Structure 1
């Protein structure tokens, strides 16, 4: 239970200028940023090791005008990036925050590479829905686990205090909403209390809190949750108890291609490069190219909440750069067949229906046309044997709504005024996806984790001692 106790006279065991709750990507980037700005930092993580939702992701961060894009001959700009975000989110996000994120993430990734040795590169061989340029950046294995491990190593090498098994359960504040300190518990039941000059909430959203999901995202209330179970909405509940405003609480990232029952993320490049999805009847049911977030609800509406993602060996060769896909193949999750009839047999779907689905797509592709769902197929995307298929379901990955923040990552109250010493980043803050699943542009989660995390660290360090 996330508690806020009003106590202006409480005495604490010790004091730290900048405290950060949550050691995911947002928290660790914030810690590195605050440390570089000269502040003493304490990073608190409830788990035995930093993991969070970052470790469950593909670890890809969108950024514009990076040196890696330039090396790959990719033309891009923060203005184009911001335009893509606003277009996908139907103009709902705060335009100033969107512009700030589009300008910030590129330099932050280069800083992480130059200062801490993170080996980023740009994904240059396929495009993500809604992005007008190829701007997704990741580490060599293209996995969130590698990203979180690299950030943890950077924090440790910088000798930043990181305390794990530290579950923050209570904040202490004065009557004006200034956070004076906090209490965290250890697995053995003991607890510690400490004071802070500034507090950064980087403990993600509320995807693991069924009650809050049911309240704000009813369409996915019974969906598989593919985020970290520790995302219980603590930041949102603490913030609101302190008088903070929140925005776009229905905003979220879903995903329509999580291998079932293995629970492995299957890259959406399987679709963007020409693949498609069918249900148990062997029929398509939507325009998959709109995006993987909105596709989650489409998959969940199918019989038994199951679909099949179908592609070919050409596409499989592209997505093997992702560790998750290689793991899925090793586990036998990816079916392979030399003919449509054989594939239908392996999938246990009607062979005639699947053949008709293939034929309809081939006709559209040969004409470089658009199908009845509004999806365009090009001749180059026509699938060729051998074919591949993965049984998938839809899932909720993480929430995108959260505490309202300004351009310094300071949390705002209901009048738009910053709270005295509270900052938020990543899933704890309102993101840039608007209020619907369809507003999520690939990478928006790590975009605000890295971008707002960096800004929150600088801002909190600048106010330390005030």
Structure 2
């Protein structure tokens, strides 16, 4: 993939076929949440999507969103707060995430999920069977189907019901600004190669990161240069390229979400719940090599550093039952990824390791003392054993345009651009600038909370401008 052509054009006005109060670039969870919230505020918008149908990174995710203080949490008697959530985010990032943005997202994600439920029919369930890495309470939310595809389908259905226009197969190439850095519209290519233009009073970038751009990954994330990319190809770095051309400030370009459980060669995702509840990862030598409970993102780097860049997820019948509750695992199993062994010798033979080494790894789990890496196991694994061969993958990046707590894009000097907003993959997130700073769910947290805040900020700007407009004079 070559670096896309993305430009900033300057003009006092844009000759556009259509005008909207707000233009939204990207129709993933971020863009569609923003569109729904704008609709609720009485603000018209148009969503522009490069693909034939909305999907993007959201559709490829598990669709799990962390949030405190929601209706779903209260119904299950879970005590949580935005402050506790913010502390968990910063603890995982070791304080490297932007405090104001962490606080804004932690405060906004609960109201955002409740608004989507109460006004647009998204019925959230709380995943309370186990704790995701880094979360101190059960706060991961999902729709009943537990997939990103289902989340996108629900958001698109809500957008359709609201009558919000989503223009697909519209590849935005140029952003138009006036001499005062005010966004006035966008130019986009249609399937026939013709450029069309949309004028706007405010612009929201909800488009993408750069995980699908090999040149940018090689430059900015060298440790993942040869890793499998498990994200959406539309993550081509457009937002960063526009930001550089505009003179906007960028942030946390070394941050990303990896995953240490990408099933190979089937190319599917295996849920990390198995690791959190007692499963282990072993390398080709039959040895564990990291504390699996620290998180699936940094696990990608650990797995890739092993011989051949692979590992085996090893677990037993109770954990298999847990795994089968997740559609991503069921897809991997259906593709032939799951292997069953009645003995340690059989498992070792499949892995190509010394059976005595693997037996020692399994025996060490039965001790009450912490492992060398600090992990403490509640129990050992019992035959029959199950194994899935995995590698490390890059899913999406966490760096991008620098924004304030209202999602306004910032100039190099830290001042906000007048009417340009960014969130989701287009903006720097709340994971800091390293892979281990990613707290489970940070991607969709940034998308949904960011879309919610961007809509609120853009709506306030539009409403203020309307109030300041002079009344028309009589002819």
TM-score bracket, shorter-length normalisation: over 0.9
Residue 20 of structure 2 is aligned to residue 16 of structure 1:
yes
Residue 77 of structure 2 is aligned to residue 73 of structure 1:
yes
User: How far apart are the structure 1 equivalents of 2:323 and 2:82?
Assistant: 27
Aligned pairs (5 A) from 1:323-402:
323-363=327-367, 367=368, 369-379=369-379, 382-402=380-400
| 8 Å contact kept, 2:283–2:307 | yes
Normalising to structure 1: TM-score of the pair?
A: 0.96
| Farther-moved stretch of structure 1 (422-431 vs 334-343) | 334-343
**Of 219, 224, 240, the match for 1:215:** 219
User: How far apart are the structure 2 equivalents of 1:155 and 1:14?
Assistant: 19
| Structure 1 equivalent of residue 433 of structure 2 | 435
Segments of 5+ residues of structure 1 without an aligned counterpart are none
Segments of 5+ residues of structure 2 without an aligned counterpart are 466-475
Tell me the alpha carbon deviations over residues 331-384 of structure 1, each in whole angstroms, 9 at most, x when there is no partner.
Answer: 221112222222223344332222121112223xxx1x21112222223xx222
- Number of aligned pairs? 460
| 8 Å contact kept, 1:142–1:321 | no
| 8 Å contact kept, 2:14–2:199 | no
Report the Cα offset of residue 28 of structure 1: 0.4
Tell me the alpha carbon deviations over residues 227-274 of structure 1, each in whole angstroms, 9 at most, x when there is no partner.
Answer: 111111111111232221111110111110010011111111111101
| Structure 1 equivalent of residue 192 of structure 2 | 188
| Structure 2 equivalent of residue 124 of structure 1 | 128
| Structure 2 equivalent of residue 448 of structure 1 | 446
| 8 Å contact kept, 2:398–2:428 | yes
Please give the secondary structure, in 2, of the residue aligned with 1:362. coil
**Of 258, 265, 268, the match for 1:261:** 265
Report the Cα offset of residue 313 of structure 1: 1.6
Report the Cα offset of residue 27 of structure 1: 0.4
| Structure 2 equivalent of residue 271 of structure 1 | 275
Report the Cα offset of residue 9 of structure 1: 4.2
Please give the secondary structure, in 2, of the residue aligned with 1:49. coil
Please give the secondary structure, in 1, of the residue aligned with 2:287. coil
Report the Cα offset of residue 133 of structure 1: 0.6
Normalising to structure 2: TM-score of the pair?
A: 0.94
User: How far apart are the structure 2 equivalents of 1:115 and 1:321?
Assistant: 29
Please give the secondary structure, in 1, of the residue aligned with 2:365. helix
User: How far apart are the structure 1 equivalents of 2:392 and 2:305?
Assistant: 9
Please give the secondary structure, in 2, of the residue aligned with 1:155. helix
Report the Cα offset of residue 282 of structure 1: 1.4
| 8 Å contact kept, 1:101–1:451 | yes
CA RMSD of aligned residues (A): 1.4
| 8 Å contact kept, 1:37–1:462 | no
Aligned pairs (5 A) from 1:50-449:
50-363=54-367, 367=368, 369-379=369-379, 382-449=380-447
| 8 Å contact kept, 1:108–1:454 | yes
Over 3 Å counting, the alpha-carbon distance change for 1:4 and 1:302 in structure 2 is same
Tell me the alpha carbon deviations over residues 71-105 of structure 1, each in whole angstroms, 9 at most, x when there is no partner.
Answer: 22322221111100011101111212111111111
Report the Cα offset of residue 107 of structure 1: 1.6
**Of 459, 462, 466, the match for 1:461:** 459
Over 3 Å counting, the alpha-carbon distance change for 1:187 and 1:351 in structure 2 is farther
User: How far apart are the structure 2 equivalents of 1:321 and 1:19?
Assistant: 39
| Structure 1 equivalent of residue 45 of structure 2 | 41
Please give the secondary structure, in 2, of the residue aligned with 1:464. helix
